[in-house]
């Protein structure tokens, strides 16, 4: 019976914990208790309480690879000395990631003193830097630190805490199961954590994937993450409950059960879903599933069910969670978020980005989208009723999430056949309701730009709006003045101006005149996000040849009516490439206009240096070679802009190289003029891009 100090101290901590937790005093009544005389298998400690109940406890350490464990021991010993040496130097205010140390035990203290000198020099050499690297140490300045904090190198390795725990249990459980093979005892494995990155959650996550039918002797597993901090990470009652689909009443065991369900659902374990469905159906609710992550994972599992066409099971999830209080329907902070750090309703009010999918009902909206896409109208009435409630509740985040299943309905509001040509029979009254909801949301949420932004993906699919409806949509969304809304709305403005009149003939005539006026007004006076996005969409129309160029030209002219705008010019780079193919003369005209406006603009309002560049130079410059004087004039303007030193005008070898393809009778004259311009530029910058003048 030769127990180590570590073992004795650990079992004493556990004895105290168990006594306090169970309100019964336990004592250590035996050590190294043999359970198999032939193999000499034994467990470490026998505990017994005042009622005579016996507990078999077997210890094992949770460690990483022996090599990693050895390295971590060296690191801790060296950093212990290093901290002392740094403290003596009076250094403070940094978080420092160290390299791995390779040093003999006898040399550690001296080595640490040398490393302290390295740290001191790094700080001295970089007094103003917030982050820097010096001789393998990475420094992060943290003025609030009253000391120096040392940590492993950021890039030393990736950490898989679940994997570490899984490997450890996979190697130890078979033997440990044999060591606690004893009757009339509660059989406990006590895991001592010697791994830096493993916590109780990682252990539960690992154990949730094990088949404990192979380890029937193990009743419970406790995990000591830090000295004196014990967590129950496995209880056979939990596994048996899931297996037999029986309800658990004990609060502590229920908490562990829910943790197992969280991870098993995440691992797409059908047994976890079956358990939740059985118990939920029995009690009529999921109020007992006291964890939002568990409910979110249950919703995620619904997509697995849909992949197997188990729509009824997916609908069971919808029915059970449609009225869940996460998020709070009133928009107030959730019970588990009293400070409102995750109150997305308030973020919408503050016009913050809320594109991430979160909360139980937020995820549920996406599950309903998937169910709708299965094209089974028999479920639509129920889902539509839920959506109508969601779009009217006070929580603006849920209003946004409800737009996603609503989009799936909008896509189908005119459908009469499935993809396989079978009939798609959906009640016309519900189709009419679906048609009315986006417009209602538009009116109800006029003051909430983020909700209006979310409506855009509906209206992108809702293009059979009549003139009155379309005008209301465009004007309401333009009135938000929100850059994100305007950027995405730009796709619809040219559609209703140029294309809608030819679509949906069964709905009657559509007069696009008022929408042409809106398009022109937005090009000339719209906000920058709208103008630049409109330029991109007009380029796309050109690139895909959706309309004859002559139908688009009048709108391109408007972009360069008054002043130069860099962001519009950026979008025009692609347009110049198309113009060079479709209308070379117009390409030259627009480019000259843009350059002239740019020249005037930077004389009056110089832009920040090293940010602007002229888009389209390489695509257009070659079009001028048939007009030498015009070419020379343009290059002079580019030279003058270049001399100002703040705008990149294009590839100089391409610009000046155009002389080579000028007609023979003018080539030499153009070359001489170009060489003069180039020499002026070279006097200002001897490192200017070289040009081949030999041709």
Q: Whole-angstrom Cα distance, residue 190 to residue 329?
A: 44
Neighbouring residues of 259: CB distance < 8 A, sequence distance ≥ 6: 201, 204, 208, 291
Q: Tokens for 522?
A: 């937005």
Q: Whole-angstrom Cα distance, residue 345 to residue 399?
A: 9
pLDDT band at 157 (very low <50, low <70, confident <90, very high): very low
The overall average pLDDT reported for the chain is: 92
C-beta of residue 598 within 8 angstroms of C-beta of residue 560: no
pLDDT computed for residue 152 by the predictor: 63
Using alpha carbons, list the distances in angstroms from residue 469 to 453, 462, 473: 17, 11, 6
pLDDT computed for residue 1 by the predictor: 60
Tens-place pLDDT, residues 65-110? 556 566 667 887 888 899 889 989 989 888 888 887 888 888 999 9
* Phi and psi based region of residue 324 (left: phi greater than 0; alpha: psi -120 to 50; beta: remaining): beta
Mean pLDDT of 475-495: 96
Crossing angle of helices 360-372 and 292-307, rounded to 10°: 10
**Tally of CB atoms within 10 A around 606:** 13
Tens-place pLDDT, residues 344-375? 999 999 999 888 899 999 999 999 999 999 99
* Closest alpha carbon to 574 in 556, 592, 560: 556
Tens-place pLDDT, residues 590-643? 999 999 999 888 888 877 766 788 889 999 999 999 999 999 999 999 999 998
* Closest alpha carbon to 397 in 332, 485, 338: 332
* Closest alpha carbon to 612 in 623, 625, 597, 624: 597
pLDDT computed for residue 87 by the predictor: 86
Q: Whole-angstrom Cα distance, residue 629 to residue 624?
A: 9
Mean pLDDT of 169-196: 92
Strands 647-648 and 612-613: parallel
Neighbouring residues of 545: CB distance < 8 A, sequence distance ≥ 6: none
Residue 171 sits at the vertex; the CA angle it makes with 168 and 172, to the nearest 5 degrees, is 80
C-beta of residue 177 within 8 angstroms of C-beta of residue 171: no
Percent of the chain with pLDDT over 70: 96
C-beta of residue 32 within 8 angstroms of C-beta of residue 9: no
Beta bridge partners of 140: 95, 131
Residue 311 sits at the vertex; the CA angle it makes with 307 and 316, to the nearest 5 degrees, is 125
pLDDT computed for residue 541 by the predictor: 97
Tens-place pLDDT, residues 131-145? 999 988 889 887 766
Strands 137-141 and 186-193: unpaired
20-29, 30-39, 143-152: range with lowest mean pLDDT: 143-152
* Closest alpha carbon to 211 in 265, 252, 170: 170
Mean pLDDT of 44-63: 94
- DSSP per residue, 63-96: ---HHHHHHHHHHHHHHHHHHHHHHHTT--SEEE
Does the pLDDT at position 154 exceed 60? Answer: no
Neighbouring residues of 137: CB distance < 8 A, sequence distance ≥ 6: 96, 97, 98, 99, 118, 119, 122
pLDDT computed for residue 42 by the predictor: 96
Does the pLDDT at position 159 exceed 70? Answer: no
pTM metric for this prediction: 0.80
pLDDT band at 204 (very low <50, low <70, confident <90, very high): very high
Does the pLDDT at position 153 exceed 60? Answer: no
Q: Whole-angstrom Cα distance, residue 271 to residue 207?
A: 15
pLDDT computed for residue 156 by the predictor: 41
pLDDT band at 158 (very low <50, low <70, confident <90, very high): very low
Residue 423 DSSP code: B
Domain boundaries along the sequence of the chain? 57-244, 465-559, 561-695
């Amino acid at each position: 019976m030769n127990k180590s100090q570590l073992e004795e101290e650990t079992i004493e901590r556990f004895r105290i914990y168990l006594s306090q937790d169970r309100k019964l005093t336990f004592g250590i009544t035996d050590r190294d208790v043999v359970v198999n005389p032939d193999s000499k298998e034994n467990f470490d400690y026998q505990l017994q309480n005042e009622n005579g109940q016996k507990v078999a406890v077997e210890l094992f350490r949770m460690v990483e690879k022996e090599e990693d464990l050895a390295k971590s021991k060296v690191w801790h010993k060296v950093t212990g000395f290093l901290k002392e040496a740094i403290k003596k130097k009076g250094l403070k205010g940094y978080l420092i990631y160290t390299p791995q140390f390779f040093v003999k035990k006898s040399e550690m203290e001296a080595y640490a003193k040398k490393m302290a000198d390295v740290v001191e020099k790094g700080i001295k050499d970089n007094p103003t830097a917030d982050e820097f690297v010096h001789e393998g140490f990475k420094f992060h300045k943290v003025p609030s630190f009253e000391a120096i904090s040392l940590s492993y190198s950021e890039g030393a390795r990736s950490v898989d805490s679940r994997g570490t725990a899984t490997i450890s249990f996979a190697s130890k459980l078979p033997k440990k199961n044999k060591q606690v093979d004893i009757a009339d005892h509660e059989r406990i494995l006590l895991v001592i954590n010697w791994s830096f990155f493993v916590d109780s959650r990682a252990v539960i996550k690992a154990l949730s994937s094990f088949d404990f039918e192979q380890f029937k002797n193990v009743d419970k597993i406790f995990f000591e993450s830090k000295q004196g901090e014990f967590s129950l990470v496995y209880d056979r009652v939990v596994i048996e409950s899931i297996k037999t689909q029986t309800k658990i009443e004990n609060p502590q065991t229920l908490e562990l059960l829910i943790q197992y369900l969280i991870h098993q659902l995440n691992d797409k374990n059908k047994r976890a879903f079956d358990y939740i469905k059985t118990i939920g159906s029995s009690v009529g609710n999921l109020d007992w599933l006291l964890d939002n992550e568990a409910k979110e994972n249950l919703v995620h599992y619904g997509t697995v069910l849909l992949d197997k066409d188990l729509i009824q099971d997916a609908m069971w999830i919808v029915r059970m969670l449609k009225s869940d209080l996460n998020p709070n329907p009133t928009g107030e902070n959730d019970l588990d978020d009293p400070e409102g750090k995750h109150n997305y309703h308030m973020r919408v009010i503050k016009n913050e980005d809320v594109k991430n999918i979160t909360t139980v009902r937020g995820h549920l909206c996406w599950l309903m989208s998937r169910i709708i896409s299965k094209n089974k109208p028999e479920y639509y009435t129920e889902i539509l009723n839920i959506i109508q409630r969601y779009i009217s509740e006070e929580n603006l985040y849920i209003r946004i999430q409800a737009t996603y299943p609503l989009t799936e309905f909008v896509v189908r509001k005119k459908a009469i056949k499935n993809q396989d040509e079978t009939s798609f029979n959906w009640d016309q009254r519900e189709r009419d309701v679906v048609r009315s909801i986006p417009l209602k949301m538009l009116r109800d949420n006029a003051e909430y730009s983020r909700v209006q932004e979310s409506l855009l993906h509906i209206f992108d699919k809702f293009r059979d709006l009549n003139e009155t409806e379309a005008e209301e949509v465009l004007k309401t969304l333009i009135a938000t003045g929100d850059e994100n809304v305007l950027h995405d709305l730009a796709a619809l403005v040219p559609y209703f101006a140029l294309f809608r009149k030819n679509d949906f003939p069964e709905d009657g005539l559509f007069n696009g005149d008022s929408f042409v006026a809106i398009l022109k007004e937005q090009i000339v006076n719209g906000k920058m996000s709208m103008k630049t996005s409109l330029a991109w969409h007009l380029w796309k129309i050109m690139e895909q040849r959706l309309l004859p160029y002559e139908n688009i030209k009048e709108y391109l002219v408007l972009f360069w009516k008054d002043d130069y705008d860099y962001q519009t010019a950026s979008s025009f780079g692609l347009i110049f490439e198309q113009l060079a193919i479709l209308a070379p003369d117009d390409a030259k005209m627009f480019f000259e206009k843009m350059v002239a406006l740019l020249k005037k603009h930077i004389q009056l309002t110089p832009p920040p240096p090293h940010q602007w560049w002229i888009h389209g130079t390489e695509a257009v410059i070659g079009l001028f070679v048939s007009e030498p004087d015009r070419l020379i004039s343009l290059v002079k303007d580019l030279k003058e802009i270049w001399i100002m030193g703040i705008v990149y005008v294009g590839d100089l070898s391409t610009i000046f190289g155009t002389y080579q393809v000028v007609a023979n009778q003018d080539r030499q004259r153009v070359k001489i003029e170009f060489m003069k311009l180039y020499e002026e530029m070279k006097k200002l910058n001897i490192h200017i891009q070289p040009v081949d003048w030999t041709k």
